[in-house]
Structure 1
Amino acid sequence: MLKSYSLRHERGDELLPLLKAYRDAVNRVLEELWNNIEWEKRKVKGGKRQWRLLPKYKVDIHSGEYKKELRDSLLQEWPYAAHWVDSVIKTAYSILKSWRKNYVKGDRRRRRPTAKRLFARAKQTLIRLEGEKLRVTVKPGEHVYLDLSKRYFPLPGEVSSAGLGEPIITPEKVHLPVHYGDGNQGGNPSVAWDFNLLSLDGYSPETGWVRIDTKKLASAHISSF
């Protein structure tokens, strides 16, 4: 079972440069993806002489090759830990997917979505639970610690980073997803999985780290729209 909690922190000044860079990078990816959209004219079902323009990608944005080129371009001038770039790409793809879904339903205009709020989604590889503090890696060897001692919610019995999801960090709060054991699992050990571009990484307190190589899958082309 996964529950999400919000907790205020006092590290906004230290995190602000990262959050601004994260937002700018998300918008850069959104612009890149938007520029690869072409508009296809389709007839509206049930309508007489009514047509709509629907988005279609000119390239396969889900291919491993495309994502690698996108990641490499973002890393060229990126001063923070590289895994933040992976999160940026994931966030931008999610925003555009949500926009398309709402656009098709008629709830959005034909206008590129943009990220305005300051936030960042921290991958599990960027966080570590150390007692009552959440360590967030900003740069290699540089960390910010968020105090969790005043929380109003319990942490998993076996306190470890594997019990946490991907926190959403804003200048004032951390929105922390927490995994709690499901009594219906019959005592079987649980594994927290993190899907990256080239590997599937799992962690369990009982078995430790497990890595599955997905390089061949990353090269497969998946159609988008």
Structure 2
Amino acid sequence: MSLATVESAKKLAAYSAIDDHFPANPTAIGIGSGSTVIYCVDRIVEKVAAGEISPDVIYVPTGFQSKELILSGGLKLGDIDRYPVLDACFDGADEIDRSLDCIKGGGACLFQEKLIAQCARKFILVADYRKNSTALGIKWTQGVPIEVVPSAHTKVVSELVALGAKEVNLRMGGKAKAGPIITDNMNFLIDAHFGPIEDPATLATQIKLLVGVVEVGLFIKMADAAYFGNEDGSVTARNRDGSIKKVEW
């Protein structure tokens, strides 16, 4: 399997997601982040140029990367304050289970990603086969991203251990920054690895109830469909109703 095959599959997954789920006559669309979302925007730009999508549609980003994609594609940029109801949102994910529950926030856009997904009438995930999992916490072992108020991070870390986290880390900026990563909302990020998560909904609620937690990177019963670019270059689409479609271009 070549890198070109993987990239081709990711592109086809994104194109299929847009072709199947871009709404008719929308007002505003949410655009997430990640390598597959780049291809989603490419497809939208193609369809705008072909006259299949109106150039007046507004696109609301989840973070800096998606904002740049929108602007570089010549699309109209909006914000969630002005467009609190979105017709659809297309986004990537760090891991997606069989129920379409997913882990997101690996790219540090956690709060904005969940806000925009919640505001969308339809939430569509696009990823490659490496994100397709039988249960959350199996393939994505970096941990569940958790956005926290800085002054509460020490308390929250100890409480996550009490909830059963096997490893808890304050996400640091690495070589580019001395100290922790700061989110767009001026908060810290904690990554808590619980191993395979048997009940993501319960865990999400338990974490969200901790004082100091702003948002949790467990997206429960939010996605309507997930499109995966496979190793063989094909695409598998899984829907919330359990139906599965194989796409080959």
Q: TM tier, shorter chain?
A: under 0.3
Greater C-alpha Rg: 1
Which has more strand, going by share of residues? 1
Normalised TM-score (structure 2): 0.23
Higher RCO (C-alpha 8 Å, min separation 6): 1
